[in-house]
Structure 1
């Protein structure tokens, strides 16, 4: 089993879906380089092609995932063991995956999934939405716990900003590194997540999705009239 990679500070999520203007590995490599120049300690990347390109261009840890919609299933962040292995082979140092107890397309339980990935020497980040899910994933051996899905499952806390209470509670209950991710829209919110106990913070849209950043300015201007 590989040793845990210590991450402290800011990890920048460099992702663009097919319908977004910056979709394409060359754009994501440029974005990752810019993040590195700004002081990011790691990159979170989606899809084997982008992961491979970023790893070839930068000497930074990469948290890799594979977003895949499968009809009939709510799990879409690296939904199967095969997806996780593909991400790992592309060069991801850590593989992020859905860490909830929801049904998976390959029929494996969360416990079976983590066990199989560990058997192949793959470090696992469990993306969870509640304290109970985080504690359970850690008990199964997940190497990192991330609050990525808080607010994105119907049963989790619905808040406009980062789930700071969840971060604090996780740090009190698990011994593995805790990542704060999800709805972190400003440097101040990122700092608040660290103050709440996060070992590192993952920020995506507020840095790497210009259409969303533009929309936030436009909406604020409209609301002020």
Structure 2
């Protein structure tokens, strides 16, 4: 499966409750459009969306469950509870926040990864990180892939704009597992630069599947 996505585009099909395209049926249609356009994989949020997407397209799915916990800012697959939902839905890869921030219930990342390995030995683990240090830590804990998803979104990387190509380059030089470029990739040219930096594959979401965000980018430039 890692060979299947190598050098290819993965499309993130997500919509939260307050967004116009919220709904598993709509996300499945979005995934179908991505599949017809040539996508090699899908990233999806929630059990229902993953199930609907898997029934619609024959592509590998990176599954997440976004859930808020009062004692932690981590919300991308925070605990084993969310991992179980993702596995039950049929995703081949589970992506989870592997930043060094405090986790829900005071849990440790290493314990979560061990629990996933024990309960779901065939499930691949993708680490969503925001810094080189976090990527190397996740690599040492035994994940299968690293993604730059959270660069520009953690409180200590908020100043970063656009795709973090330097982070991709550094991680590629320091780990021996696939590095996925994700986060703030708005154009095909930026995606190409990420591949040239050594990314195993590219994940693009908002620039393809969130028309509200796309419209806002146009409006911002027009208003200048």
Answer yes or no: same fold by TM over 0.5: yes
| SS of alignment partner, residue 87 of structure 1 | helix
Give the match for residue 173 of structure 1: 174
Q: d(CA) in 1 for partners of 2:86 and 2:200?
A: 23
Are the equivalent residues in 1 in contact too, given 2:71–2:105 (CA < 8 A)? no
Q: TM-score, normalised by structure 2?
A: 0.95
Q: d(CA) in 1 for partners of 2:145 and 2:169?
A: 15
How far 1:154 sits from its partner (Å)?
2.0
Q: Structure 1 stretches of 5 or more lacking a match?
A: none
Q: d(CA) in 1 for partners of 2:207 and 2:95?
A: 20
Q: d(CA) in 2 for partners of 1:23 and 1:176?
A: 34
Among candidates 5, 8, 19, match of residue 7 of structure 1: 5
Q: Structure 2 stretches of 5 or more lacking a match?
A: none
Give the match for residue 128 of structure 1: 129
1:155-206, CA deviations, whole angstroms, 9 ceiling, x for partnerless residues?
2373221000000000001111110000001111111111111000100000
Q: d(CA) in 2 for partners of 1:153 and 1:46?
A: 19
Q: d(CA) in 1 for partners of 2:108 and 2:124?
A: 17
RMSD of aligned Cα (Å): 1.3
How far 1:106 sits from its partner (Å)?
4.0
Q: How many residues align?
A: 221
| SS of alignment partner, residue 180 of structure 1 | strand
Q: d(CA) in 2 for partners of 1:45 and 1:126?
A: 15
How far 1:22 sits from its partner (Å)?
0.3
1:134-156, CA deviations, whole angstroms, 9 ceiling, x for partnerless residues?
01101110111000011111223
Which moves more between the two structures, 3-12 or 134-143? 3-12
Matches within 5 A, 1:14-25: 14-25=13-24
2:43 counterpart of 1:48: no
